[in-house]
Amino acid sequence: MIELIREALRNLRRHKLRTFLTALGIIFGVASVMSMVSTGEGARRAILQQIGELGIRNIIINAHRPPEESNVQQQQGQSWTIEYGLTFHDADQIRETLPAVLEVLPVHDVDKWIWFKSRRLEAKVRGVTPEYFERLSYRPMLGRTLTADDGLHRRRTCVVRARLLRDAQYLGDPLELDLKVGSEYFRVVGVLPDTEFQSPNRAALGIDDRTLEVYVPFDTVIDRFGLENRKFRSGSFESSKVELHQLLCVIDDENHVETSARGIQTILSSFHKKKDYEVTVPLELLESRRKTQRVFDIVLPIVAGISLLVGGIGVLNIMLASITERTREIGIRRALGATGLDITWQFLVETVTLTSLGGLLGVALGVGGTQVLQRLTDWKAVITPWSLALSLGVSMLTGIAFGLYPARKAAAMEPIAALRHE
Amino acid sequence: MPAILELHGVEKIYGSGPAALRVLSDVNLTVEQGEYVAVVGPSGSGKSTLLNIFGCLDVPSSGRYLVEGKDTATLDDTQLSHLRNRRIGFVFQSFHLVSHLTVLENVELPLFYARRPRAERRRRALELIEAVGLSGRAGHRPAQLSGGERQRTAIARALANEPALLLADEPTGNLDSVTSREIMALIGRLHRDGATVVLITHDPEIARLAPRRVALRDGRVESDSGRTAAVEAGA
């Protein structure tokens, strides 16, 4: 067998260009399949991870600033106050009406600049309760998350993402860092890792970029900054009043998520005249994603099949030409005692060697192409071992499928006719 | 011990109906172990067809052909391949070497199909190459050799599996007279060493070197100098 492969390699080397061109069909087929599979797999994992991070038993309600024209605006001298968003009343209603809802965690954001020394940092300050971290599976890589005591004593503590430390170009002990939010100083007590996956799908899914968040105790925020937010913007002070920016509802069971989501929609729509909120159900996102994935799982093998079919036909064509060209050699081999089976094997091994080489190069090109694609875009590609094995396996199978006919044809030649062939 | 080959009423007809061409008719011939037979005849007399039948590359339309007592009609394609591989060595007019293989690899081919281990193949092939006087040429391709050297390679290859029968089809047809004499001397030496040789030629000069001569004309055996001649020649 090894000798047959060696012989096959030699025959292929005799016509380098022809071999290369023939293998090209297989190379491109395998390469495109490889890169499709790995970018697809990367995207799938990123989305599943992001959705998983939101928690499949959670329902997230975000406050929305309603469109400008429908604003209820109260003119007070030179400034505006816009009132919108979720309220404590909403939270109570949901908690009391829906038995499947275990907890409703309030979140209040502070629209203030955040400073480290004289450097202004790009971040969003969220007042959250201690349970928030656990429900969203946020685990600190350093220090701790916020505790009930932080809220009870109105402590000015905060938990940051690792990215913030980099942005601040702070090199000391993170747990000795003080950040200035508005006019108040907050001590960092814990650092969370950056969210691992970032993809263009994040925005499409309505998931916030949580790498730019700073978490402070909910009670401290309400105490220190109140509910109103004032900001100097385009020549005038703009003031907005939002009680709660987010509600995180935790449902007791996965099977109750759907009904609870409908219940929440009903409650909110009866208390809000305008649609100034949005309900995100991670479980639904997950399911719709799974459906998309299923389409992908069907389309991909078809595309792969077609490209390998095209490559395989090229191989078939060249092998048929090759046996015609080598008819006399086949005759000589038969005269010297090669059986039909010997001839079949010789050409089959040659074809499979050709397609396997194509497969190998295709995998290499696919892996390389994926890396380039990853460099150029911010897609995350994941090359799974099974996709490597599958690509090689399929290219070998292509060799067998399209090599069998020419090999059998070569074996079926009459020895004497083959020998006389000029 | 059965004869190396026996033909009983062999006919060969190409095509069918009115266009049918009868190439051999009622050929009866027996070649014993150790004989050296030249089959002579003008072109079209059927001698090539006869050789192909001898070599199991072609089958008779009717009649029986036995190799070492075995009727070839009872053998399937694989068994015929084995027979060609183990019992018959071919030398062709146009050499029929595989052009992209070296001398060594060409000589190794019959050993490969006999499933001999690699090391043994190499050793045996080198031995044969030396025996036909081509030492130092083992790594050359056929295109780098002279006609005589190519035919020597073909002879070495034919002898690889120590066949019972050496079939030579116009072995000197493409060679000049000096080289022809050398090749014929080599074949003569093989015969003296015990090989059974059947040689096909249209050249009376070459045929004269064989102790027994069978003349074909229009597909029939015209004359056969007979085995006695062989015995006389051997004596």
The angle at the Cα of B108, spanning B106 to B112, to the nearest 5 degrees, equals 120
pLDDT at A72: 47
Please report, to the nearest 10 degrees, the dihedral formed by the alpha carbons of residues B63, B65, B71, B74 taken in order. Answer: -60
Which pair of tokens denotes residue B25? 């008719």
Residues in chain A closer than 8 A to B90 (CB atoms): 335-336
Count the neighbouring beta carbons within 10 Å of the beta carbon of residue A377.
12
In sequence order, which residues have a C-beta less than 8 Å from that of residue A344 and are 6 or more positions away? A407, A408, A410, A411
Q: Give how far A410 is from chain B: nearest CA, Å.
A: 14
> Does residue B41 contact residue B68 with C-beta atoms inside 8 Å?
no
A228-233 β-sheet, strand order: A73-76, A79-83, A236-241, A228-233
The mean pLDDT of A58-78, rounded to a whole number, is 65
Determine the Cα–Cα distance for residues B127 and B153; give it in Å rounded to an integer. Answer: 12
> Can you say whether residue A107 is alpha, beta or left, with left for phi > 0 and alpha for psi between -120 and 50 degrees?
beta
- Provide Rg for chain B, Cα atoms: 18
A-contacting residues in B 148-167 (Cβ below 8 Å)? 157, 161
Is pLDDT at A266 greater than 60 in this prediction? Answer: yes
Q: At which residue do the structure tokens 């929440």 appear?
A: A264
Residue in A3, A333, A419 nearest the CB of B57: A419
Residue in A10, A14, A335 nearest the CB of B84: A335
Determine the Cα–Cα distance for residues B78 and B75; give it in Å rounded to an integer. Answer: 8
Closest-approach residue (CA) in chain A for B114: A337
One-letter amino acid identity for A49?
A: Q
Which pair of tokens denotes residue A225? 């900054």
Q: Backbone phi, then psi, for B74, in 5-degree steps? A: -90, -5
Rounded to two decimals, the ipTM of the complex is 0.92
pLDDT at B97: 94
The separation between the first and the last C-alpha atoms of chain B, rounded to the nearest angstrom, is: 21
Set out the domains of chain B in order of their start, with CATH numbers. Answer: 34-57+78-234 (3.40.50.300)
Mutate to test the interface with B, among A332, A334, A336 (most CBs of B within 10 A): A336
Residues in chain B closer than 8 A to A337 (CB atoms): 81-82, 84-86, 110, 113-114, 161
Residues in chain B closer than 8 A to A416 (CB atoms): 52, 57-58
Give percent of chain A with pLDDT exceeding 70. 91
> Does residue A229 contact residue A111 with C-beta atoms inside 8 Å?
yes
pLDDT at B232: 47
Is pLDDT at A206 greater than 60 in this prediction? Answer: no
The mean pLDDT of A135-140, rounded to a whole number, is 85
> Does residue B216 contact residue B46 with C-beta atoms inside 8 Å?
yes
Determine the Cα–Cα distance for residues A239 and A227; give it in Å rounded to an integer. Answer: 10
> Can you say whether residue A278 is alpha, beta or left, with left for phi > 0 and alpha for psi between -120 and 50 degrees?
beta
> Does residue B26 contact residue B201 with C-beta atoms inside 8 Å?
no
Q: Give how far A339 is from chain B: nearest CA, Å.
A: 5
B120/A contact by beta carbon, under 8 A: no
Determine the Cα–Cα distance for residues A48 and A251; give it in Å rounded to an integer. Answer: 20
DSSP string, A302-314: HHHHHHHHHHHHH
- Helix segments in chain B, DSSP class H: 47-54, 77-87, 103-113, 118-131, 147-158, 177-192, 204-207, 226-234
- Helix segments in B65-144, DSSP class H: 77-87, 103-113, 118-131
The mean pLDDT of A52-71, rounded to a whole number, is 75
Spans of chain B below 50 pLDDT = 229-235
The separation between the first and the last C-alpha atoms of chain A, rounded to the nearest angstrom, is: 30
User: In Å, how far are A15, A167, A324, B172 from B134, measured between CA atoms?
Assistant: 29, 80, 32, 18
Determine the Cα–Cα distance for residues B30 and B47; give it in Å rounded to an integer. Answer: 15
> Does residue A10 contact residue A329 with C-beta atoms inside 8 Å?
no
Helix H or strand E segment including A290: helix A282-325
pLDDT category of residue A71 using cuts at 50, 70 and 90: very low
Give percent of chain A with pLDDT exceeding 90. 26
Asked if B96's CB is within 8 angstroms of A419's CB, the reply is: yes
> Count of A–B CB contacts within 8 Å?
60
Residues in chain A closer than 8 A to B85 (CB atoms): 336-338
Residues in chain A closer than 8 A to B161 (CB atoms): 337
pLDDT category of residue A325 using cuts at 50, 70 and 90: very high
Determine the Cα–Cα distance for residues A368 and A362; give it in Å rounded to an integer. Answer: 10
Is pLDDT at A37 greater than 90 in this prediction? Answer: no
Asked if B96's CB is within 8 angstroms of A3's CB, the reply is: no
Asked if A3's CB is within 8 angstroms of B112's CB, the reply is: yes
B59/A contact by beta carbon, under 8 A: no
* b/e sequence A145-156, b meaning 16+ C-beta within 10 Å: bbeeebbeeebb
Helix (H, G, I), strand (E, B) or coil at B5: strand
